[in-house]
Each structure stands twice: as structure tokens, then as C-alpha cells.
Amino acid sequence: MSDIIKILPSDVSNKIAAGEVVQRPSSVLKELIENSIDANSTRIKIIIKDAGKNLIQVIDNGEGMSRNDMHLSFIKHATSKISKIEDIFSISSMGFRGEALAAIASVSMVEMESINDNQNGHFIEINGGELLSEKESNIQEGTSIKIKNIFYNVPARRNFLKSDFVELRHILDVFHRLAISHPEIEFSFINNEEEIFYLKEESLNKRIISIFGEKIRENLIPINESTQIANISGFVLKPEFSKKSRSNQFVFVNNRFIKSQFISHSIFASFVGLLKDGYHPGYFLFIDIDPTKIDVNVHPNKTEIKFDDDQNLYSIINSSVKHCLGIYQVSPVLDFDKDPSMDISYDQVNSKPTNPTIEINSEFNPFEVFNDEEINKVPGDYLSSHNKLKLNDDNNQALKIFQILNKFIVSTNKSSLIIINQNLAHQRILYESFLKSIFENSINSQKLVFPIELSLTKKQLLLYNKIIDEFKSIGFEISLKNELMHVESIPFGIEKNNVEEVIENILNEDFNVSNDFSTADFFAKRLSKITSIKSGQKLNLDEQEYIVNHLFSCKEPNLSPDNKQIFITLNKNDIENKFNG
């Protein structure tokens, strides 16, 4: 018998390989967006027609390609991302097999335009893997790639595509995953001529809200744990927000979306007792792990992953999620837009790699530093709707509360002395109430008989335009004519005489807030600082009581909006030690 083994022509092998990479329009979109991300784009535009069956276009402002590289990019195993086998184990870019474009081109009609630093723009057109034409292009930046008529030359596969509705859903899944893991990139998404997403560069929580809608805002619980094995961050959705589907489950390992049963299970197990039957928790979990400890190459679509240390990772994720749920249960998340570190106000637990344990103290209260066990009963009194404090109710004594140095409020309970910084305490109270007004849009203002007129500088105007919504939502009614501001209403709680100072003070601040801080947070912080009771101010008993009562009704009574300690306590031992020491 003569030899029967043949090497397949490359167009046939590419078509076969295409089956692995290109299952449907959404898999093409994923490869294209990932290439744009790898090219360091900061702006990516996606244009889809007929659920991607007739057009998938991705336009980026990335590094682009030379004319030669454009040709090479369609050859199998052509990649700029790895050159030796070790690279695979430490790869940080999205794609690296160098087969996506070759596979896609073999089953579709492709037009690509690109420009890079050194050359003029270029255009090439490829049908079914064959170069059809090329010419100069006047593209100004980055790369634009159009994939038309997917599977036009493999009718069996084209017929296999599902309805537009189903294919578009897959496309949106892919888009959501990439948009969530890259909030630093601006995305626009146009479906059949209609822009359905415009996502500006933003922080992660904003990105999640931009995609899933305002309702998700108050359901996000921040999670943040660092351990020797992995760092876990992101958001977990409150148990009340769980769904019958798993559609709100996102896990990213080293910023790459993955599916992993054991990770889902470890999160699910953390919710035990908190979910109704048949409901699934929601989460946006980012796991950062040494890339040499994982193998992402186990599946061509790279959404599956193998970890070297499954068991420990399981426990770490499980404990971290429990930890953040524990914190939320005792102090509901009012505003996640602020620095998430503030939500974890007690010491973060460093999980040991071998046997991670994270304790959840469901009894957490502002007095947990006290040694006296009985003290756990106190917060109920603080939080009661009565305005009268009952710190000393065991002895039926009158409340002991007084001010010292015109700066601190001193109070006592059964066995401890509490010394509260009046300025910081008031900042905290105002901060939380301003945030609440902003988020609930609960306007609470008084009309001014004579509007106040203020003239703004260009810089102030710029900042004002950024935080105009916050001004409104807190109770300011302001109209702007040229650079002249007319203040018509002001929030309750702000003195008429102070208005000018308050506004100037807010608008003179440099707004260079890091991503974790929202404009709302910035605004509430500034305003609380400006309008709070200052050190040196003498307070009457009512005012002192007001501070103490309201402070301990706050979500986070321990720390000021700028993370300063608001009060200290001296318990029996502390005091006795002073005498024995």
C-alpha cells in the first residue's frame, strides 16, 4: 500500500482550528477586543450588525501594526506576544497563541486597517484566508478590523448559528466581561446602528453600575483580602440581590474572566443560610495570583483554568467572602463609592496559606475594644430611637457627659470612659447624612429670600460642572449665568451667612480624586469638613448629646471621613494600669 498520511493544506487546518477558536460571533468579538486591549488601547468601539452574523467591527486607538505585521498577523502561530515556551507561564496579555486572526480569517471576510508610528496607514482585505486586496489607508490611529459574513464558506456552521437574540446575548456576555475587567478603557457599543453602551473610563463600581443599572449600586459589598496565596478584591452582591440564574457571577483571575466550578462552589458555600432555595449569589470577584501557579492554557477559549493549590484557594475565597458578608451584616453598606478600605475597619486578617481562618464577629460594635463582656449590651441603647442616652442605666444615675478643652466630649459607660473628638465626630455624622441625601436624592432645602450671587473662576466652574448633580441632590438650587452663580436655595443645616464660604471652599479644592472616590464622596467629605463643629467651640449639653447619639448611629463611628480615629476609650484595666504603672 502506498503512503496514506498527508499534511493538510493550511486553509483546511485553519478551518478545523477555527472550530476551536471561533464557535460563534461572540468568540470572534472576544478575540478582537482582547487584541485591542493587548495593543494598549484606551478607547475601543464595537459595531455589531445582525448579532454579529454580518458584521463585527472593532476600532481601537492602540499601538497599531506595520504593513508587514498586518500580513503576518493572519498567519497561524503569528504572535507578537510570546517567543519561547516559558513565556506561556508568565503571560499577562490576553491572547498569545497567535491563532485567532488566522482562524477567524479562514471562515469570514476580513477588512483590516491599521497604522503605527513609523508608517502610513494600510488596508488589507482577506476572504477565507486569501489576500484579496491591499492599499493605503487614511486611518488616523490604532486598528480597525471588520469581520463580515462569518462562516460564509462553511455553510454547515453558519446554519448552526442560533437566533439573533441568542447570539446577541452571547456577544453581550463577552462584552460585559471585558468591560468589567477593564474599567480604565472607554468602550462604546453600537448594535444595528444604535449605541447601546457608552462607557467612559471609570472606577470598577461605577462600571458595574453603568452596565447593570442604578439598582445594583446599593447591593454591592466591597471585598478586599490579601493573603500570601492570592489577593481577592471586587464586590459581592447582597444576598437579597441573589437571582435564580447565575447571570451575575463574574470571576476574574489576573483580570481574565474564567469559569471555575470550585471557585463558584467556594463562594456559594460562604452564602450558606443566606440564600433562598434555588437562588444564586452574585459577585464580581478579582483573584490575583502568581501566574506561574496557574495554567490558563487548558482550554482554547481560556475561560477554564487550573490552579496548583486548589484547596487553599478554596478556603481563602470562602473565608474572604464570609468576612465581607459579615461586615455588611453588622454595618450595612451605605456608600461603596468611598475608599473601600474604610469598610473593613477592623484589622484585616492575614490568612495563613495552610489553614486560613477568618473570624466573623457578628457582634461587632463600636465598643468591641472593651474587655468587659457585659458591654455588648450597650449598643442597643445607643442605637435606640430614644434621644436620651442611657449609658449609666445600671445605677440609675444621670447621664455623665461633658465637654473638656472645648474640643472633646467625655462620656462614660459601665466600665469605660469614652473621649470623643467633637470635630471629627460631627464630620462623620454630616458625611453620612450628606451621602444619604445624595444617593436618595432626598432634597432638603430652604429657599432664600434674596438669592446669593457669586462669581466663579474658570477653574471653579470646571469643578462645579463636574459635581453639579451633587450640589442639587443635597439641596442647593443654583442657576448659572455665564460665570455668575445665583444660589436660590440651600440645604437645611447650612447657615445663610456661610453659603459663600461653603461653596468657595468646595470649589477651591483640587479635584484629583483617585478612582475609588466618587464625586459624591468628594462632595460629602468637603461639605462635612466645612460645616462641622470645630475644635474650640463651646457646646451646650444638647449639642453634646446630639453628637454622641448621632455618632453611634453612624455606619462607621470609629473613623472620620478622612480615616482619623474619632474617639478613644479607657476601660477599667487601662485606668488601673495607670495607677500601677
Q: Which is nearer to Mg ion, 100 or 236 (CB)?
A: 100
Minimum separation from the CB atom of position 75 to ligand ADP (A): 9
Binding-site partner at residue 64 among Mg ion, ligand ADP, none, CB < 5 to 8 Å by type: ligand ADP
Closest CA to 567 of 386, 426, 434: 426
Minimum separation from the CB atom of position 95 to ligand ADP (A): 3
Binding-site partner at residue 88 among Mg ion, ligand ADP, none, CB < 5 to 8 Å by type: none
Among 15, 67, 97, 182, binds ligand ADP (CB under 6 A): 97
Among 46, 101, 375, 490, binds ligand ADP (CB under 6 A): 101
Diameter over CA atoms, the chain: 109
Q: Which is nearer to ligand ADP, 106 or 403 (CB)?
A: 106
Minimum separation from the CB atom of position 31 to Mg ion (A): 5
| Site map (CB under 5 A) of Mg ion, residues 97-136, x = contact | ---x------------------------------------
Residue of minimal Cβ distance to Mg ion? 95
Q: Are 246 and 280 in contact (CB under 8 A)?
A: yes
Interactions with ligand ADP, residue window 40-79 (CB under 6 A): 60, 62-65, 73, 78-79
Binding-site partner at residue 528 among ligand ADP, Mg ion, none, CB < 5 to 8 Å by type: none
165: region left, alpha or beta (phi > 0 left; psi from -120 to 50 alpha): alpha
| Interacting span for Mg ion (CB under 5 A) from 54-62, 91-99, 212-220, 350-358 | 91-99
One-letter amino acid for residue 60 of the chain: D
Q: Are 230 and 289 in contact (CB under 8 A)?
A: yes
Minimum separation from the CB atom of position 299 to Mg ion (A): 15
Among 42, 80, 149, 228, binds ligand ADP (CB under 6 A): 80
Per-residue burial over 542-569, b = 16 or more CB atoms within 10 Å of its CB, e = otherwise: ebbbbbbbbbbebbbbbbbbeeeebbeb
Minimum separation from the CB atom of position 102 to ligand ADP (A): 6
Minimum separation from the CB atom of position 183 to ligand ADP (A): 20
Interactions with Mg ion, residue window 8-37 (CB under 5 A): 35
Minimum separation from the CB atom of position 301 to ligand ADP (A): 13
Pairing of strands 249-253, 109-114: unpaired
- Residues facing residue 47 across a β-bridge: 57, 190
Helices marked H in 99-258 — which ranges?
100-106, 155-160, 164-181, 204-212
Closest CA to 113 of 64, 77, 149: 64
Residues in CB range of 542: below 8 A, 6 or more apart? none
Interactions with ligand ADP, residue window 284-323 (CB under 6 A): none
Minimum separation from the CB atom of position 95 to Mg ion (A): 3
Among 24, 25, 29, 31, binds ligand ADP (CB under 6 A): 31
Interactions with ligand ADP, residue window 137-196 (CB under 6 A): 143
Q: Contact between 545 and ligand ADP (CB under 6 A)?
A: no
Q: Contact between 62 and Mg ion (CB under 5 A)?
A: no
Helices marked H in 310-370 — which ranges?
310-330
Which residue pairs from 403-406 have beta carbons closer than 8 angstroms and sit at least 24 positions apart in sequence? 403/538, 403/539, 403/544, 406/535, 406/536, 406/537, 406/538, 406/539
Q: Contact between 98 and ligand ADP (CB under 6 A)?
A: yes
Closest CA to 70 of 26, 116, 31: 116
Minimum separation from the CB atom of position 100 to Mg ion (A): 4
Sheet with 567-570, edge to edge strand ranges: 401-404, 408-412, 417-421, 567-570
Q: Could you tell me how many residues of this chain bind Mg ion (CB under 5 A)?
A: 3
Cα–Cα distance measured from residue 491 to residue 505, given in angstroms and rounded to the nearest whole number:
16
Q: How many CB atoms lie within 10 A of CB 243?
A: 14
Q: Which is nearer to ligand ADP, 100 or 168 (CB)?
A: 100
Q: Which is nearer to Mg ion, 35 or 433 (CB)?
A: 35
Among 25, 52, 95, 366, binds Mg ion (CB under 5 A): 95
Q: How many CB atoms lie within 10 A of CB 458?
A: 7
**For the CA atoms of 105, 108, 111, 116, what is the dihedral angle to 10 degrees?**
-30
Interactions with ligand ADP, residue window 471-530 (CB under 6 A): none
Cα–Cα distance measured from residue 375 to residue 571, given in angstroms and rounded to the nearest whole number:
11
DSSP structure class, residue 375 = G
Among 95, 129, 183, 222, binds ligand ADP (CB under 6 A): 95
Binding site for Mg ion (CB under 5 A): 35, 95, 100
Residues that bind ligand ADP (CB under 6 A): 31, 35-36, 39, 60, 62-65, 73, 78-81, 95-102, 143
